[in-house]
Structure formats: structure tokens, C-alpha cells
Structure 1
Amino acid sequence: MLLFIPSLFLFLLQQAALPPKDLHKQNYTIYETATGNLLSLDSLVERLNSADIIVFGEEHNDSLGHVLQYQLYKRLLESHESVTLSMEMFERDVQRAVNEYLAGLITESKLLHAGKAWNNYSAYAPMVNLAKDRNQQVVAANVPGRYANMVSRKGLGSLNQLDRKARHLYAKVKIPEKDDAYLAKFNAAMGEHAHSMGPTVFHAQLLRDATMAESILKAHRKNRNTKILHLTGRFHSDERLGTVSELKKRKRKLNLVTISCFANPKEDDQDWSTNEALADFIILTN
């Protein structure tokens, strides 16, 4: 066990805790697909005020996208007493560690270890720390990676072999029909490997989506007055498939809004009609 932390690591932790820089010198475009209007970030926040759940689909390596997430979360907290942050980046079995960090009981370095934090956790740390400062909940929404891996190798039936005490760590999955749009999208993304992988890899994807959707709805039922901002890779939410589809299956009357955020260095050449079906709002960063 190490008795000290190298100064470089301490510096990186301190930098991760700092809020992202202002956006006024950054380049991004926000587009509302229903109206065709270009929006400011403040206008986007106004349109999100009535939403129960906001699903923010990101590209994990988009640094400007992470800054926009933080600014969006911060602005929502300025006008709402409770905004729960739900995250694909934490798995259900680390919820206790997340709660302990939010309560000030453990350090950020311990959260990184116990929470199995992603390699790019510094991109999300400002949002988690803002939640901590404002006494907000953070939901570790995803299924434990070991179970997703197990399903991809052994199939959904392998979940039945787990101890009953593990049941709260994953959601039930309903296998879709062969003409399912999400299955077609998944196979297209896998390319020539789709056939050789077999269906269990897609079933692991469904397990992630179903578990995240169930986690979001549990948080909503626990506090009907909270607004939920869910952060996820945009494959899980684009075209209102994946986690978004699972949310709609489970509770149709929710006011659910989707955002798709991705880098587009050739914004001037953007054909918006090709992206209309992605989400309610599209954010292009460059």
C-alpha cells in the first residue's frame, strides 16, 4: 500500500476538480430539430425546464462536449432545487462509494479506485463535484461490467446463475424481434464482425440500456420533484433507441428530452436533414 501520492497525481486531481473554462471563446452550435432553429445555451436550458428527464448523448472523447455538459448542469441547478445527475460512467455496484464521496466521507482518490472510474474521469469530475457542493444526488446507473461481459459470453440465461442478492444490480431484458431498428443499427456498427459475434453481444448492450433506464426511473420515483440529467454515450440514445427506448417502454408519460452532442469540424457543410432523427436537440462542437 502506498503511503504517499506523487505530486503529479495530486496536481491532476486538483485540475479535475476545477470547473471547466468559460465557453465564450469556444465553437459550438445548438440546433432544435422540431423547429429548425439555432439556439444559445441559455435558450436550450429554457426549453429543458419542463423536462422530467434529459438524456445527453455524448462522444466520450469530446472535450468541448464535456464543458457544455457542465455548463448545462450548472444552469439547470440555478433554476431548479433538485437536479439528479445520472451517469453511464458509474456502475450500480459502486453506488455506495459515490454516495460516500458526495457526503464527504471518502476522498476523490478513493472514489477513483472504489468507483472504478473511467480513464477520462477528469472530464466528469467537475459535474460530480458540483453535485457534491450543491447536495445533489448522483446515480451510478450502469450495469456492472462483469455482468455485461458475462452475458456477451454466455447469454442472458447466465444471469439466473447469480446469487439472488445480486438481482438489484441489473434489469430484466426483453429480446426484440429480428427487424428491430436498434439491432440493425448495432449490427451496422459492428460491420463484418456482427455475424461472427452472435446475438449475445447485442444482448449485453440491451442489458446496459435496460439497467440504465431502470436506474433513471428508480431515481425519478424516489423523488418526483427532481429533474434528471443522464449522461451516456450517444449510441445508447441517438434516434431515441437504446436507453431512451427502454425508458419509453417502462413509463410513456414522462416528459423525456434527448440531446445528441458530437464533434463536427465541417459545420458549414452540415446537412441538418441527415441528423433530424437523432434527438430533440443536436449540439455540434468543433
Structure 2
Amino acid sequence: MMKQIILPLLLILVTFTAMAQDKPAYMLFSKDGKSIKYGKILKELQEADVILFGEQHNDPIAHWLQLELTKDLHKVHQQQFILGAEMLEADIQLVLNEYLEGKIPETNFAQEARLWQNYNTDYKPVVKYAKENRVPVIATNVPRRYAAAVSGGGLAVLESMTPEAKQFIAPLPVTVDMELPGYKNMLSMFGASTHGNTKSINIVQAQALKDATMAHFILQEVGKGRKMLHLNGAYHSDNYEGIGWYLKQKQPKLKVITITTVLQPDLVKLADEHKTKADFILAVPESMTKTY
């Protein structure tokens, strides 16, 4: 009996010691906190209609893994495979397509696409791969001017937008469940509640507009029989809310798999607070260098 107890304890001790010596740059976990290999995750991701890869925007490990996953999924799905990105707004799809097809130079694309400040370090590699391998990239996010309008005046301001504007927005009216934990947490950050001040509620509605719009453009592509890897901030897909919630409202049977990125002091085990945030969790050391 004593031997049965000692052997597992020794195994745990060896594992902890090895982790301390190796200093891994990342670890992958299933949602129940068990360590899992990339190959096992890839096998499951191949079966998804949509993969929501939630990142920390300034984390280099997440961006590297997004690129590697893009390559591997493209090998599997070939012409069926596409990318989607929160970092690109729906109204720049034309210029994005023109760049990917080699019709305009990169300088013009950069000038007109309102690229994020970390595009060159974090997103350019995956866009470059897409361009070189003819992988479509879908700009899924709502144009920021419409999100700003909602932040100022609530979702009602969208009703007066022109038909040309509405083509870049999720179909109206956009339903927002203010009882979802993610949105309630946002309100609490402003010191408000679901019955709190209008300004705070408008900001949460703007967040929901982004989630709903990204889901809308994802579904348009999935409806064509495509398999999408979607890159977005973790807050837009953690806990199966945000984009994933809107996807399920429209297509409950859609196979959606989520990945999230978390930071921890060490990677020996997944912290309880991160379990069940997503189907798979990418854990990165808190000390990891940032891209900005």
C-alpha cells in the first residue's frame, strides 16, 4: 500500500523538478486542466466548423501558435480552409482581397486597412502565409465608427444607418443578453449593473455588437461549406460567450471549438480559475516578453 502511494508522489516530484529545469515557453491543457499535446488538439480541431482562437493581443506565443495552426489546418482542409480576424474590419474586405490577390501593393493595403499597431509583429506573418498560399482572409469585425456610435448612443443609433452601412453590421435588431456573465463583468468594471447608468450599458452593447457582427460574418462563410480559424481577443470567446454565444443562437448544431490564452506564474498545472474557460487552454508564463 505504501509503495502505491510513494510511486505517484515521486512521479509528481519528478514532473515538478523537470518543469522547473526546462522552463517551457508554454503548456497546453484541456478544459479540465489536464496537460495535452498539440497533436491531440490538432486532431480534434480538424473536426470543427469554427475554431475561435482567443489571444492576449500582445502575447508572442499565441501569435506563433496561430500561425502554426493555420499551416496545419490548411494542409488538412486545403481550399475549404479560411481565416477570420477581429483585427480587420468588415468594410476593408475589398482592399484586403485586392492585397491578397496581388492587385495592390502592401503599402496601400496598410494605409487603407486601419491596421492595429502590432500588425507587423503579430498578424503580418499569418496574412503573409495566407497570401502566399491563396487562403482567403475574412475581415469580421464591425467598423470601429459604428461601435463608437453605439458606445455613445446605444444600439438604437444603428437603425438610422444607411443600407450601405448596415451591410457591415450584424442584422438588426441585435439582441444582447445583459445577464451573460461576461457582459455583467464588464458592467461591474464600470461600477454599474444591468440596471445601471446608460453610458456603461452602451459600452457593453458596443462589445456585443462586435461579437454579433463577427459571428454574422463567420456564419456567412461557414454556410459555404468552409472551415474557419478565427483570431480574436480571448474576451470575445472565453467561457463560450461572446462570438460563440451568437453563433449558437443562429446555428445550435454548429461545431465550434474554442482556445484561450492565459498567463500564469508557472506552468506546472493549470490554475483552477482558468479551467473550463475554453475547450483548450494555452498557458504562457507571466514573464513572457510582450510585443508591445
Name the TM-score, length of structure 1 as normaliser.
0.85
Corresponding residue SS for 2:167: helix
Partner Cα separation in structure 2 for residue 274 and residue 140 of structure 1: 32
User: What are the residue-to-residue correspondences of 1:93-172 with 2, within 5 Å?
Assistant: 93-122=91-120, 123-171=122-170, 172=172
Choose the corresponding residue for 1:208, options 194, 207, 210.
210
**Number of residue pairs matched by the alignment:** 257
Question: 1:90-121 CA distances to partner (integer Å, 9 max, x unpaired)?
Answer: 00000001100110011222111111100000
- Greater Cα offset, 152-161 or 90-99: 152-161
Structure 1 gaps of 5+ residues are 1-23
Which residue identity is paired with 2:89? E
CA deviations 1:63-114 (Å, max 9, x no partner) are: 1111111111111112221321000000000000110011001122211111
Instruction: Tell me the alpha carbon deviations over residues 187-239 of structure 1, each in whole angstroms, 9 at most, x when there is no partner.
Output: 23x24377553311111111100000001000111x20x21000000111000
**2:45: which partner in 1?**
48
Q: What displacement does 1:26 show?
A: 5.9
User: Aligned AA for 1:42?
Assistant: G
The alignment partner of 2:71 has SS state of helix
Q: Distance in 2 between matches of 1:241 and 1:185?
A: 12
> Hey, what does 1:232 align to over in structure 2?
232
Contact 2:190 2:200 in 1 (8 A): no
Measure the CA separation in 2 of the matches of 1:264 and 1:101: 38
Q: Distance in 1 between matches of 2:69 and 2:76?
A: 11
Query: Residue 268 of structure 2 aligns with which residue?
Result: 268
Relative distance call for 1:270 and 1:276 in structure 2 (3 A) is: closer
Per the alignment, in what secondary structure is the counterpart of residue 268 of structure 2? helix
Q: Aligned pair in 2 of structure 1 residues 25, 180: CA closer, same or farther (>3 Å)?
A: closer
Letter in 2 for 1:218: Q
- For residue 199 of structure 1, give the secondary structure of its aligned residue in structure 2: helix
Q: Which residue of 1 aligns with 2:28?
A: 30
In 1, Cα distance between the equivalents of 2:46 and 2:176? Answer: 34
Percent sequence identity over matched residues? 34
Distance in 1 (alpha carbons) for counterparts of 2:220 and 2:92 = 16
Asked if structure 2 preserves the Cα contact closer than 8 Å seen for 1:62 and 1:262, the reply is no
Change (3 A) 1:57 1:95: same
Distance across 1 between alignment mates of 2:162 and 2:237: 31
Following superposition, the deviation at residue 262 of structure 1 comes to: 2.6
**TM-fit CA distance, 1:157:** 1.3
Q: Is the 8 A contact 1:65 1:262 kept in 2?
A: no
**Structure with greater Cα Rg:** 2
Classify 1:251/1:61 alpha carbon distance in 2 versus 1 (closer, same or farther; 3 Å).
Answer: same
Structure 1, 228-237 or 254-263: larger mean CA deviation: 254-263
Structure 2: gaps (5+ residues) = 1-21, 286-292
> Which residue matches 1:185?
185
**Is the CA contact 1:58–1:231 (under 8 Å) kept in the aligned structure 2?**
yes
Paired AA for residue 217 in structure 2: S
Alpha carbons 1:28, 1:285 under 8 Å: kept: yes
Work out whether residues 41 and 72 of structure 1, in 8 Å CA contact, stay in contact via their aligned partners in 2.
Answer: no
